[in-house]
Amino acid sequence: MLNKLFAPKSIAIVGASNKKGKVGAVITDNILKLGYGGKVYLVNPSYKLLKLKRCYSSISAIKKDVDVAVISLPSKFVLDVVRESCHLVKNFVIISAGFSEIGEEGAKREKELAKLASEKGLNILGPNCLGFIVPGLKLNASFAGGMPKAGNIAFISQSGALAVALMDRAKQEHISFSNIVSVGNKMQLAEAQLLEYLAKDKETKVIGMYLEGIKDGAKFIEVAKKVSKIKPIVILKAGKTEKSQKAISSHTGALAGSDDIIDIAFDEAGIIRAADLEEFFDLLTLISFTDAPKNEKVAVITNAGGAGVLTTDAFKGKGIVLADLSKKIKEEIKSVLPDEASAENPIDLLGDAGEDRYGNVFKILNTKNFGSIISVLTPQEQTPVEKITSIIIGNKNKHSSLAMTIFIGGERISKSLLELKKNSIPNFSNPDSAINVLDKYYKWSVFKKKKEQILKSNLKVSRKKEVAKIINKAIAENRGALFFSEAAQVMNKYGINPVDCFDVFPELKVPKIKEFPVVLKVDSDKVLHKSDKQALILNIKTQDDLEKAAEKLRVDFPTERFVIQPMHSKHAEIILGIKRDDIFGPVIVYGLGGIYTEVFKMVNFIIPPMSKEDIEKQLLKSKIGFLFSGVRGQKVCDISEFVNIIVGLMEFAMENDNLREFDINPLFIYNDGTRAEAVDIKIIL
Amino acid sequence: MLNKLFAPKSIAIVGASNKKGKVGAVITDNILKLGYGGKVYLVNPSYKLLKLKRCYSSISAIKKDVDVAVISLPSKFVLDVVRESCHLVKNFVIISAGFSEIGEEGAKREKELAKLASEKGLNILGPNCLGFIVPGLKLNASFAGGMPKAGNIAFISQSGALAVALMDRAKQEHISFSNIVSVGNKMQLAEAQLLEYLAKDKETKVIGMYLEGIKDGAKFIEVAKKVSKIKPIVILKAGKTEKSQKAISSHTGALAGSDDIIDIAFDEAGIIRAADLEEFFDLLTLISFTDAPKNEKVAVITNAGGAGVLTTDAFKGKGIVLADLSKKIKEEIKSVLPDEASAENPIDLLGDAGEDRYGNVFKILNTKNFGSIISVLTPQEQTPVEKITSIIIGNKNKHSSLAMTIFIGGERISKSLLELKKNSIPNFSNPDSAINVLDKYYKWSVFKKKKEQILKSNLKVSRKKEVAKIINKAIAENRGALFFSEAAQVMNKYGINPVDCFDVFPELKVPKIKEFPVVLKVDSDKVLHKSDKQALILNIKTQDDLEKAAEKLRVDFPTERFVIQPMHSKHAEIILGIKRDDIFGPVIVYGLGGIYTEVFKMVNFIIPPMSKEDIEKQLLKSKIGFLFSGVRGQKVCDISEFVNIIVGLMEFAMENDNLREFDINPLFIYNDGTRAEAVDIKIIL
């Protein structure tokens, strides 16, 4: 659907100009002079002739097919131009600033533009963007200068300046692009639409994005999950701190979400998140240059012990591993190396190694099934750097392992670095960076291979109606929250087991209880934080004590309902909740309860929907994973029960999107077969 | 004391040679041909004349003062040469390999050499090293090629190859050295001795070290703490993982310690630890180029919103901060910028900013007290990169703020990057790296300014004797551990409060207890893990129940002593212990007890000795800091009490260095004024 936009046969430049320094003039030059082969129409009512070409007074005056109109006009004229030409042109690139990023007036203008686009079925890139570049077509429809090399990286940027900076750096680093797209305010064409297009684009091998905000997070994650199965998506997401969130909202009016949730969302969608700009560039280079490693096993060859040690360190906590070498292979390696060399991985060829040692060891390694072979080198006095480089390049196609280098040095390796780049062998001078990006690429390949679990949605209209009835009763009674017994009823419908309870009404006597100890609590929308307000009495052991406790509580809470619950000795306290995230909608929050929740931030997130299999995997690697995998010889808790609780919460969140707040705190879980119990449930209306 | 070694007036090269490819020949050339102005004597009995110079048969044949002898001979000859000449020469550089790094035979040779050195008062660098280079003297006494630029970085490397690689890179990056020293096996001259020398060396501004192992950790930390008060020490410490520890022991025979303890040790000594090779290089560059920021406040100027957002992100969790700008200064800034520009920090000059905007904003910022001013730039089409660079360079000396740049790009900024380097303005292309290294430099400056606390040692011979008596009794009785009541007695001597206890002897009746509930435990060196062996019964509420519990335990443990302790409801469970670290000696381990210790690794370390003030600071920033600083409105625990417990443990550790294992697990701490109680104490002999 975006083919005509990004691979147009004809372009109209509205606001074409020849005035030096004007954006319209830069765009005109870029489209006319850098080799684009399609038709170009200049539009500007002030000229008859421009750059020796006919200049039209309007798009309608062209009377020929126009695939894309690139508009560079003061913002107040943009809407009229689009309105008057949208029966002729369906694709627009709006360079002009002066929309939602400048405040109310601009936002109004943008809203009208969006309405028009949706009514007329238009595709609009921008407004407030740099434009786009397709090096394969020699098409630069932007006001950034130059023409990058045609290649396989698609780069989508929410910052025009960063796109320019990366293009400049790319030239130096011999990396090359299929598309460069500046999305500006993302009024209509945002991350999701571009991902869908680029997933199908044959030139594109990897999609890199610099994002500040994310538009329509749920849709974005849904699309990204599919696209990640086809090609890797690498994202540098800015806006981690509150301060930078402020900087963003004054920048492109984007809305930044909680960074932890973004981490989880990306993880669920198989997106590779770059920690910083350097890693972003490293990841794009690596993926552009080479296919993902076919397994986690890595062999490292080095001519410097110290560099080998640093490389070994870098594997700490990674999914890729320094492969254990078999006795047989070690003997083979020893047979081609001097005695003092080490045949352990990293294989230490010693400081005086020439190209022959690298070559001989390659021959042995090539016969084995390593996912990656990394050649480490420092330029000793006697090191024939260029000869070794030739051997590495020559060896690259002799096996299916990923080939990578860690050359550490300066002048003495610079010529070789260039050769490596020309031959698409990624080099990283910092061992930690090398291993880190290789690990991320490998993890993506695991995601790609993973079978998609089928999501069985279990939403029920009848249940939704029953819950609404309970909630409406509370609203009618002017309450801000459900009573415990009501909340318990709701939870039961979603397969979540509330603790037993006995209501105590203000005017009535305390019921006779059979089993002790119990807890007595105030049950009221006015007392949501019970411990803080001394609104509960723990560990009551007899009926007599219970009655005394009720009398005592009654003094401070004369008109409230109370609730009696049995007191169990739990194995662990869990907190569960639903956070409505501005970007991703309802997010399930779960973690260790009690004091540790807040002190150690022992919470994780799940963004619905997710299959049971995936929930189980997430739980096991979460901060409460130890409860289900055993620790210190303790019996484990039932993970399938906890998975069902999460599923229940997902359904609850999706069926009831009108609740203000919801949490279960604590949920007691056991490791003796007892069912988990929701001890306190807040449903706030 | 090492002046004669590193700034010699005369050098003898033992093993001088002219055979191409031989190490001795490379060293001979390096010393003779790179400009060294002192006297050089060649020693090799095979020649009369070498390189047109007289060649001596031995050092004693020289008959002149020799400050240093550089020895490059097969390892078996080294000892004899040193022995025969040590009445004439006191400083040796032993290049030769074939010592402790090759196993037993070499280790024996090294031991003899060390003995000789200590008997004769020699200084020996190496063996198994690259040598050293002093660019200021044009002295290259190593077999690495070339002569680096003379500057202010001293680089000490345990890996010769990494030294070579860094020198090569340094050439490209315009950074320069006062000393480069390869320490090899660190037989005698190790980290501590070199630090002491370099601390006094006037040319050296920053000391960088690549270390795999640390020799004599306690001495090293003691020296480093003092040197860090004078100049910064930056260390890249390899050997983080078990695998790389293996690689090290086959590499230079060094002993790697637990990485967490190294972190703490470096922190205590004010050492800046580099996370990886790139950061190491970045830190050396930054410190070499500029003085530390005088305060934590940073102002950022940018011509690219996106780059500003990334820079803002990088401040997350740092000690340096993006300074809040006063209303007045914001108005001043606004007055010199276009309307759409932002006067918030980062100050956004907009994409079309020329040198004037940078200059005008500098003028305003220069009048304020910022610790650092960072100029961010991406090369837009209209950006006059070189003119802006000149403004930044010109402004550098007009104020006392640290000047730093984040230029992001490639070809279009390369000329300017060179200019910045020439003018000692550090540039980092990755915002996260820039802010990270600046933060580390700032933190060092805080350490430097911090007043040294006086350590009051409180070791007591009489107490040590009393403890020895208790221990000797247990040994005489053939026990592997103290009984609880004995351990309690010991702890009392160090101001640590054990929980009350009543002994129950196998042949005697259970004593009458007044207050319940209590706990009954087996008290035996054979049952050290009581929960695992069902050797304790909790929550006993009556004398009757206590007697039954004792009968029950008696079945499984017929001949052991039991102990009765009151059962309190604690506020938190703490674990305390002493770990004997191979590098640093006794280390106090403390953390949250119970299941969380192991699940969340909630432990921290303190390496004695440390002042009370510093212990308090460490506690507050430790993982259990929340207990003393309050959380969720809870009452805090008494930190001074806990400081005294740590002090007691330090004294205990120092007075009793012969114990196999020691821990208190749990220590109950309270927040209601009750004294902390050691509930279980293991003193294992």
- Residues of chain A found within 8 Å of residue B602, distances taken between Cβ atoms: 600
CA distances from B93 to B34, B78, B141, B474 (A): 19, 11, 9, 52
Residues of A in contact with B22 (CB under 8 A): none
Q: Find all residues with CB under 8 Å of B476, minimum gap 6, and list them.
A: none
Beta strands A10-14; A68-71: pairing state: parallel
Which residues, numbered 580 to 619 in chain B, qualify as contacts with chain A under a Cβ-Cβ cut-off of 8 Å?
595-596, 598-600, 602
Q: Is the dihedral of CA B460, B466, B469, B474 positive or negative?
A: negative
Residue of B nearest to A164 (CA): B380
Cβ distance of B313 and A240 shorter than 8 Å: yes
Largest CA-CA distance found in chain A, in angstroms, rounded: 102
pLDDT 10s digits, B224-268:
999 999 999 999 999 876 555 555 544 443 434 578 888 889 999
- The predicted-structure confidence for B550-560, as pLDDT tens digits, reads as follows 998 988 898 88
Q: Helices A259-268 and A217-227, interaxial angle, to 10°?
A: 30
Which residues on chain B are in Cβ contact (under 8 Å) with A337? none
Report yes or no: B306 at the A interface, CB cutoff 8 Å.
yes
Residue matched to tokens 């047979």 = A335
Residue B49 has a pLDDT of 94
Q: Is the pLDDT of residue B454 over 70?
A: no
CB-based contact, B168 to chain A, within 8 Å: yes
Of B45-54, B454-463, B635-644, minimum mean pLDDT range: B454-463
DSSP assignment string, A295-347: SSEEEEEES-HHHHHHHHHHTTT-SSEEPPPPHHHHHHHHHTS-TTSB-SSSE
CB-based contact B143:B31 (threshold 8 Å): no
Enter the tokens of residue B14.
């033992």
Contact residues, chain B, for A165 at CB < 8 Å? 304, 307, 378-379, 408-409
What pLDDT score was predicted for residue A663? 87
Q: What is the pLDDT of residues B285-295, one digit of tens each?
A: 999 999 999 99
Scan residues 23-52 of A and list those with Cβ closer than 8 Å to B.
26
Tell me whether A497 touches chain B (CB under 8 Å): no
User: Hey, is the C-beta of B303 within 8 angstroms of any chain A C-beta?
Assistant: yes
Residues of chain A with pLDDT under 70: 241-257, 453-456, 531-532, 570, 595-600, 630-634
- Cα(A548)–Cα(B234) distance, integer angstroms: 67
Say what the pTM is. 0.89
| Contact residues, chain A, for B162 at CB < 8 Å | 304, 306-307, 310, 378, 408
In chain A, the residue whose alpha carbon lies closest to the alpha carbon of B412 is A168
Using a CB-CB cut-off of 8 Å, the residues of chain A touching B168 are: 379, 409-413
Q: In what order do the strands lie in the sheet with A518-523?
A: A502-504, A561-566, A518-523, A536-540
Helix orientation angle between B639-655 and B461-476, rounded to the nearest 10 degrees? 70
The verdict on a CB contact (< 8 Å) between B313 and A241 is: yes
Of B27-41, B250-264, B405-419, minimum mean pLDDT range:
B250-264
Q: Do B310 and A276 touch (CB under 8 A)?
A: yes
- The answer to whether the CB atoms of A169 and B379 lie below 8 A apart is no
* Residue A389 CA from chain centroid, whole number: 37
Average pLDDT over chain B, rounded to an integer: 91
All residues at 6 or more sequence positions from A40 whose CB lies less than 8 Å from its CB, including other chains: A10, A11, A12, A13, A31, A32, A53
Sign of CA dihedral A45, A47, A48, A50: negative
Q: Which residues of B touch A344 (CB under 8 A)?
A: 246-247, 250
Q: Is the peptide bond before A609 cis (omega within 30 degrees of 0)?
A: yes
Decide if pLDDT at B616 tops 60. yes
Enumerate residues 222 to 241 of chain A having a beta carbon within 8 A of any beta carbon in chain B. Answer: 236, 238-241
Distance CA B88, CA B61 (A): 11
- What is the tens place of the pLDDT at every residue in B351-392? 889 999 999 999 999 999 999 999 999 999 889 999 999 999
Q: Are A669 and A662 in contact (CB under 8 A)?
A: no
Do A165 and B631 make contact, defined as CB atoms within 8 angstroms? no
Higher pLDDT, B359 or B584: B359
Counting Cα atoms < 13 Å in the Cβ hemisphere of B270 gives: 25
Query: In B, residues 634-663, which contact A (CB 8 Å cutoff)?
Result: 634
What is the pLDDT confidence band of residue B453, given thresholds at 50, 70 and 90? low
Mention every residue, 6+ apart, whose C-beta is less than 8 A from residue B151: B135, B175, B176, B177, B178, B288
A381 interaction partners in chain B (CB closer than 8 Å): 26, 143-145, 164
Would an 8 Å CB–CB cutoff place A309 in contact with chain B? Answer: yes
Tell me, what's the pLDDT at B254? 41
**pLDDT score for A199:** 97
B248 contacts on A by Cβ (under 8 Å): 309
Kindly report, residue by residue over B636-674, the tens digit of the pLDDT.
888 999 999 999 999 999 899 888 888 898 899 888 788
Taking each helix axis from N to C terminus, what angle separates B75-85 and B104-120, rounded to the nearest 10 degrees? Answer: 10
Among A410, A626, A633, the residue with its CB nearest the CB of B172 is A410
Q: Does A127 touch chain B (CB under 8 A)?
A: no
Q: Could B313 and A351 be called an inter-chain contact, meaning their C-beta atoms sit closer than 8 Å?
A: no
| A13 beta partners | A42, A70
CB contacts of A278 in chain B (<8 Å) are 429-430, 432-433
Q: Tell me which residue of A305, A386, A402 sits closest to A349, measured CA to CA.
A: A305
- Tell which of B19, B313, B416 to mutate to test the A interface (max A CBs under 10 Å): B313
DSSP letter at A530? Answer: T
Q: Which residues of A touch B144 (CB under 8 A)?
A: 380-381
B 249-268 → A contacts, CB under 8 A: 250-252
CB-nearest partner of B344 from A250, A412, A430? A250
Band of residue B335 on the pLDDT scale cut at 50, 70, 90: very high
Q: Which residues of B touch A308 (CB under 8 A)?
A: 247, 251
Would the CB atoms of A313 and B240 count as touching at under 8 Å? yes
Whether the CB of A322 is below 8 Å from some CB of chain B: the reply is: yes
Residues of B with Cβ-Cβ distance to A388 under 8 angstroms:
none
pLDDT at A579: 84
Contact criterion met (CB below 8 Å) for A297 and A370: yes
pLDDT tens digits for range A438-456: 999 999 999 999 877 666 6
Inter-residue contact A591 to A604 (CB < 8 Å): yes
B interface test, pick of A248, A283, A310 with most B CB neighbours within 10 Å: A310
- What's the ipTM? 0.88
Contact B448, B228 (CB under 8 A): yes
